[in-house]
Structure formats: C-alpha cells, structure tokens
Structure 1
C-alpha cells in the first residue's frame, strides 16, 4: 500500500532521519493492519520550535520529544479499513492520518541518555507517534500505557530495531 509521508524541516542535517521515517512509518501502519493509504505529515524542529507548538496547541510550556496531532479518533487496535473509505480525502484518495512533530534536539539527547543510536530513538518516537495517530494513548499509566509499549516494541522488533542490536551505532 502506498502511503504518503510528507516531511518538512526547520533544522539542518535530517536527510538520514527522513529516509528512516519513510521506512518505519509505513511499516508501523502495516503492522497495525491499516487497510487504507494514509498521509502522515512530519515536521522536524528543535527544542525551541516544539516548545512553541506545545505551548500554542496544548498549553504546555515546555519542549518535548514528539507531538502527535491525529485527524480522527480511532480505537486502539481497530485501525481504519477499506470500510472506512468515506474518511479518504476526495482529492488525493488517501486518509489524512495526522501530524507528527519531532524535536531533533530531544532525539539526540535521548539517544545519548539511553545509550542507543539516534536512528533507534527516531524510529521509536515515530512508531510512538503513529500509534497515537491510530488512537493509542498512555495517559492512564496503566493498561493503556502497557498496551502501547507492547505494540511499540513489537513493531520495532519486527524491523530489527532493538536496544540491544542497536547499542550505540549511528
């Protein structure tokens, strides 16, 4: 299935990150059983940029690693299917799934903090965001968070992106 991953950047040097997203986002959508072609819009920014978006959109006055803005409210584990074709954009015939904003500053800092590559951190955050776009959440710190973490690890594991296999590699 042909998904559209539209990438914009406010920072330099993210070409390798963009290439990784073009692989991991469609893989996450496939792993979740999404049955429609989707569009995901991605913005690479820095901590200052994501802080401003977080403040304007969520009234949260701090930088973060990733923000997700879904276009629809899906139920976790119940992805859009061909029966949901009424959700497709009539002009492009794709499902506008939503927006993802990634802080390159946070990606680099968290990769160093957790002892794995920047690529692994980026892929983790992208999968995390895709799951948010598909209705997953982790605000309860209980079963929902556990469900989301299990899906993240399953998707990354299927791609061969694990903490152990990727320790420190760039």
Structure 2
C-alpha cells in the first residue's frame, strides 16, 4: 500500500504549473487532509485553467452557464467530519492503494480577481480555494446559510491558520 498522497497538478493555461504554485497546492491539500484526520493515501487531481475553461466545465458537468472560482468533483459521498478509514474505505482503494477522492478545477483568472477584490495575495486565494475544494471532496458543503456553512467555514479557517496564511 502507498504511504503518500498522489496530487497531480495539470494546467491548460501557460505557466500555471510552476514549482511554487504546485508546491502550495500540494501543501494546502495535504494540510486539509491531515487536519481532517485522513490517514489513507489519497489521490486528488487538480486542473488549473482560466475563466473560459472553468465556464465550459461548469456548463458541461453542472449545466451552469457561467465561470466560477473552483469546482469540486468528489468520487464518493463522505460525511463531513467523518474521514474515510481503512475499515470504511478499504474496498474503495484503487489498484495502487490510493483512495481516489476526486478532482478539483481552479480558475487562475478568478484567483487573481478575487485576491484583488478581497485585498489579499494570490497565494492566499489559491491556497484557500484548494482547501475549500478538498473539504468538498470530504463531504463538506455550504449550500445552506446555517450550520453546514458555518461548519465548513470553521474548518477552512483552521486549515488556513495551520498553513500560516492569513487574509
């Protein structure tokens, strides 16, 4: 069985997969997984794109005709705060011994625009979107304005604090 996560980062925009960007994404994802208590080696596939690319994926996969900042496509339906374990996910592991959590797609154009809008760095915005998406892959959601959203925001804040990346 593998002992480490597999976190491939690909891009359909030039220059997006530079070493600092990939390192930040992997650190953010690994930190979120660790703080959520995920001990199984996981696979998360990351695609960096632009607004046109994420718009097309959003339209194709969700029938939503607009760009967005991040899309998450979980492989499984986990419950928030209940990480997969060897006992609960044993038969979900693929032939390499990895638990395929799913895919995330991030618009690098939205990263830049939202960093400006919220008055923080692109580094902070990119890390936040990776953490946000990782939590979606683990079953968290924010579709209501109540307890579910508050729970997800609290987990995001905890991971960002652990990363040492403030607003």
TM bucket, shorter chain = over 0.9
Could you tell me how far 1:85 is from its partner in structure 2?
A: 1.6
Q: State the SS of the aligned residue for 2:8.
A: strand
Quick check: 1:143 aligned with 2:147?
yes
Could you tell me how far 1:35 is from its partner in structure 2?
A: 2.0
| Alignment partner of 1:119 out of 113, 117, 123 | 123
What corresponds to 1:12 in structure 2? 14
| Structure 2 segments unaligned to the other structure (5+ residues) | none
Q: Give the distance between the partners of 1:12 and 1:41, measured in 2 at CA.
A: 18
Question: What is the number of equivalent residue pairs in this alignment?
Answer: 162
| Moved >6 Å (runs of 4+) | none
What TM-score results when the alignment is normalised by the length of structure 1?
0.93
What corresponds to 2:64 in structure 1? 60
Q: Give the distance between the partners of 2:56 and 2:36, measured in 1 at CA.
A: 31
What corresponds to 1:3 in structure 2? 5
Asked if structure 2 preserves the Cα contact closer than 8 Å seen for 1:69 and 1:133, the reply is: yes
The C-alpha deviation readout for 1:63-90, integer Å capped at 9, x for no partner, is 000000000000000011121221100x
RMSD: 0.8
Q: Give the distance between the partners of 2:132 and 2:67, measured in 1 at CA.
A: 17
Q: Give the distance between the partners of 2:21 and 2:149, measured in 1 at CA.
A: 26
| Structure 1 segments unaligned to the other structure (5+ residues) | 164-170
Quick check: 1:99 aligned with 2:119?
no
Could you tell me how far 1:13 is from its partner in structure 2?
A: 2.1
Q: Give the distance between the partners of 1:113 and 1:124, measured in 2 at CA.
A: 14
Asked if structure 2 preserves the Cα contact closer than 8 Å seen for 1:36 and 1:85, the reply is: no
What TM-score results when the alignment is normalised by the length of structure 2?
0.95
Q: Give the distance between the partners of 1:59 and 1:141, measured in 2 at CA.
A: 23
What corresponds to 1:168 in structure 2? none
